[in-house]
Structure 1
Amino acid sequence: MSVKQHLVDLQKKMNANPEGIERLNSVYQFDLTGDVDEQYQVKFENGKAELIETTQLEPDCTLQLSGENLLKLLRGNFNTTMAFMTGKLKVKGDITLALKLQAALEKYS
C-alpha cells in the first residue's frame, strides 16, 4: 500500500474517532525522501484531520524522512528518538508538535 493510501486511511480513522486528535491544531508537513520524493500536509483543526497533497499551507512542524520510515511511523513501528539522533528523521519547526503527533499516532496504530 502506498504512503498516500496509508495517509488517506489514517485520516478516515482519525475523523471517525477524533479523541486522539482533539488537542491538535497544527499543520504538519511530511517531506519524503528516497525512491520517490513526495510532500504531504495534514491539517488538524477542531478534531478533524485533513490530508493536503500540496504544500499550500505554512507548516507548524515539518518531518523529513523516507517514505518507508513514514509508513513505519504510521504503523507504530518507528523509534523516533533513535531516528532523530541518527539523522533518519529531521524535524523543522516546533519539535514539541512532533512529539504530540507521535502520541496521537500511537492511538491509531
Structure 2
Amino acid sequence: MKRMAMTTLNETMQQIEKEINNNPEPISGMDTIYKFVIDGEAYQLQLKDGKAELLSDAEVDADCTLKMSYDNFQKFLAGKLNGMTAFMTGKLKIDGDMTKALKLESIVKKYELDI
C-alpha cells in the first residue's frame, strides 16, 4: 500500500478497501462487518465473499466496533501498535466480538500497509 501519512481518514479507508479487493485471499471465507470510530468519525467495512466494501454508518449493525485516534489507527495499520497492547492501555476500545477484533489484526499483518 502507498504511504498514507498525509491522507485523510476517508482516503485511508478507501485505500484499505482497494488494497483488500486487490488481494482478497486473507479475507477468504469471512463474513464480518467492522465499525471503526476514529476521532469521532465512523466507517463500516464489510468483509464478505472475498470482497471489502465500505458501508454507510447506519446501514447495518457491526459485529465488532473499534474506537481509537487517527494517529493510533495509522500505527495499528502499519504494525507499529499491537492491538492487545492498545486495548490494555486504553488506546483502543472494542465493543462486540473480541475474536473478530483479534482476527482483524492478523488480517492487517498480511497487507503491506506502509503508513
What's the TM-score, normalizing by structure 2? 0.86
Q: Find 1:50's aligned residue among 37, 49, 53.
A: 53
- Higher helix share goes to which structure? 1
Question: Equivalent residue for 2:72?
Answer: 69
- The question of 1:2 aligning with 2:5 is answered no
Moved over 6 A (4+): none
Q: Find 1:23's aligned residue among 29, 36, 39.
A: 29
Q: Percent identity?
A: 41
Question: Equivalent residue for 1:92?
Answer: 95
How do residues 24-43 of structure 1 correspond to structure 2 at under 5 angstroms? Answer: 24-33=30-39, 37-43=40-46
Cα distance in 1, alignment partners of residues 99 and 49 from structure 2: 19
Cα distance in 1, alignment partners of residues 96 and 84 from structure 2: 16
Tell me the secondary structure at the aligned position of residue 30 of structure 1: strand
Query: Structure 1, unaligned stretches of length 5 or more?
Result: none
Cα distance in 2, alignment partners of residues 66 and 24 from structure 1: 26
| Residues 51-108 of structure 1: CA deviation (Å, up to 9, x unaligned) | 1242321000000111111111122221211111111101110000001111101111
Contact 1:43 1:50 in 2 (8 A): yes
Paired amino acid for 1:21: I
Tell me the secondary structure at the aligned position of residue 26 of structure 1: strand
Cα RMSD for the two superposed structures? 1.2
What's the TM-score, normalizing by structure 1? 0.90
| Residues 6-57 of structure 1: CA deviation (Å, up to 9, x unaligned) | 1111111111110111132110001122xxx200000010000001242321
Cα distance in 2, alignment partners of residues 24 and 55 from structure 1: 21
